[in-house]
């Protein structure tokens, strides 16, 4: 029995999305820019998906741009804003726990002369909204903060930070990397004054290589790619209609099942937390109030890689930190203030709509077996 518990890295595509993809490849296969009927059919699929994404965000459909994924959305948002507002200020405020597609893009701005302030989480894994209010000043042109951290699941205090900052600094641009929270938590962009928001399809039962960027009306961006002018000139290139249609179908399913799936993840999370508490020296690194679809914990005395491969031998897939870090020791976990011993032995388990309680029990049994074996070998 194969047990896949790495759904923050990517998810299995749902049948609804796979069918929409197949249909767009083989039936409605036109180019949405073409003026004939085949083109219009393809354009209709893109329009439907845009409406679906807009429904989740409570925004107008014309604010949604489709991209090749959240890495591209994050780059376009940050580099595009920096290029469009060259005289707006020189400081960027962000967090110390962003995904590399945000943190490295902001590092690139720092190399070009921007000042960067990185807000760190408080002990326990949560952020204090006041730390953001203190960090932003009149020279700050961009605040980029994620919605849910992808390594330990911290939910960032968007509602406590963004309106307060916008009142004080109306021209501040706010970007949110929402990949791990989008379609899981309600978001109302009519009320929350976010300017730019990135999301990705493959974390939500859609294929890899498609995502989106919300751009608030009136916000200007400079494109990163130049070409045929698709997606309002901000993402030139023929839209991958099959991927966009698949994402639309997956998003409709996510929206329909949002509350039920969050409850499902929460039950699995509680079961895993209870099981870990019964095992020896397996402290949880995720905050108590973290997002339910993932849990980070450490198996003290057993390096992450060793346990990961042991679990793999039992056909259980988990992650050590984030998939993008490819086994490097996580700088994000260190930024959370976790001691080295915990960082070195950290594992991230993340659930899908298909994960079962029996799979969690099988994981717990394998963790107990692996910990006993490797701790004995090293007398840890
Ligand atoms: N941001 C976060 C928080 C993520 O978890 C990920 C995916 N690991 C990304 C951005 C990048 O998304 P994509 O794979 O669509 O480029």
Task: Identify the CATH number of the domain in which residue 284 sits.
Answer: 3.90.1150.10
CATH code for position 38: 3.40.640.10
What pLDDT is attached to residue 328? 65
Residues 226 and 116 in one domain: yes
Structural domain span for residue 160: 15-253
Residues 243 and 316 in one domain: no
Q: Which residues are part of the catalytic machinery?
A: 324
How many independent structural domains does the chain possess? 2
Q: How far is the CA of 353 from the centre of ligand 1 (A)?
A: 19
Q: How far is the CA of 79 from the centre of ligand 1 (A)?
A: 17
Residues 30 and 119 in one domain: yes
Chosen domain end from 208, 235, 253: 253
Q: What is the CA radius of gyration of the chain?
A: 21
What pLDDT is attached to residue 238? 97
Chosen domain end from 226, 253, 280: 253
Largest CA distance in the chain: 71
| Ligand 1 probe mutation, 70, 77, 150, 322, most atoms within 8 A of CB | 70
Identify the burial level of 39 via C-beta atoms within 10 angstroms of its C-beta, where 0-12 means exposed, 13-18 middle and 19 or more buried.
Answer: middle
Q: How many CA atoms lie within 13 A of 261 on its CB side?
A: 22
Residues 81 and 225 in one domain: yes
Chosen domain end from 253, 273, 294: 253
CA distances from residue 265 to 57, 58, 87, 95, 293 in whole angstroms, order as listed: 21, 24, 45, 26, 5
Residues 283 and 148 in one domain: no
Q: What sign has the CA pseudo-torsion 245, 250, 253, 254?
A: negative
Give the residues surrounding ligand 1 with Cβ less than 6 Å away.
69-71, 99, 101, 146, 150, 177, 179-180, 200, 211, 322, 324
CA dihedral 53, 54, 58, 62 (to 10 degrees): 160
Residues 159 and 289 in one domain: no
> Hey, whose CA ends up nearest to atom 12 of ligand 1?
70
Mean pLDDT by 10 residues, the chain (380 residues): 96 98 98 97 98 97 98 98 92 97 98 97 96 97 98 97 97 98 95 96 98 97 96 97 98 98 98 98 97 98 96 97 59 92 96 98 98 86
What pLDDT is attached to residue 331? 87
Q: How far is the CA of 221 from the centre of ligand 1 (A)?
A: 21
β-strand pairing of 173-177 with 140-146:
parallel
Residues 323 and 232 in one domain: no
Sequence-distant (≥ 6) Cβ neighbours of residue 356 within 8 angstroms: none
């Amino acid at each position: 029995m194969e047990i896949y518990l790495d759904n923050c890295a990517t998810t299995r595509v749902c049948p609804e999305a796979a069918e929409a993809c197949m249909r767009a490849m083989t039936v409605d296969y036109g180019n949405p820019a073409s003026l004939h009927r085949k083109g219009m059919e393809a354009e209709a699929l893109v329009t439907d998906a845009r409406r679906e994404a807009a429904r989740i965000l409570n925004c107008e459909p014309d604010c949604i741009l489709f991209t090749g994924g959240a890495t591209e959305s994050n780059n376009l948002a940050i580099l595009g804003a920096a290029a469009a507002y060259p005289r707006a200020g020189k400081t960027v405020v962000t967090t110390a726990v962003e995904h590399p597609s945000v943190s490295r893009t902001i590092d690139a701005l720092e190399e070009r002369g921007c000042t960067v302030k990185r807000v760190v989480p408080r002990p326990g894994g949560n952020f204090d909204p006041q730390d953001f209010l203190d960090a932003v000043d009149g020279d700050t042109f961009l605040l980029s903060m994620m919605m849910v951290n992808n390594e330990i699941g911290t939910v960032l205090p968007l509602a406590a930070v963004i309106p307060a900052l916008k009142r004080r600094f109306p021209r501040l641009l706010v970007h949110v990397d929402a990949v791990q929270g989008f379609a899981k938590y309600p978001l109302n962009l009519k009320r929350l004054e976010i300017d730019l928001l990135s999301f990705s399809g493959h974390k939500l039962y859609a294929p890899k290589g498609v995502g989106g960027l919300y751009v608030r009306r009136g916000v200007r961006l400079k494109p990163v790619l130049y070409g045929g002018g698709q997606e309002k000139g901000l993402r030139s290139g023929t839209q991958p209609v099959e991927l966009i249609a698949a994402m639309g179908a997956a998003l409709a399913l996510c929206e329909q099942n949002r509350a039920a799936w969050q409850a499902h993840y929460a039950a699995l999370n509680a079961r895993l937390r209870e099981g870990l508490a019964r095992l020896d020296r397996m402290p949880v690194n995720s905050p108590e109030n973290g997002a339910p679809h993932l849990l980070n914990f450490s198996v003290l005395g057993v390096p992450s890689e060793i346990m990961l491969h042991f679990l793999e031998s039992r056909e259980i897939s988990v992650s050590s930190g984030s998939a993008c870090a490819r086994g490097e020791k996580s700088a994000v976990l260190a930024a959370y203030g976790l001691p080295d011993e915990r960082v070195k032995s950290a594992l991230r388990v993340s659930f899908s709509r298909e994960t079962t309680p029996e799979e969690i029990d099988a994981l717990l049994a394998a963790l107990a077996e692996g910990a006993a074996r490797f701790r004995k070998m090293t007398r840890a």
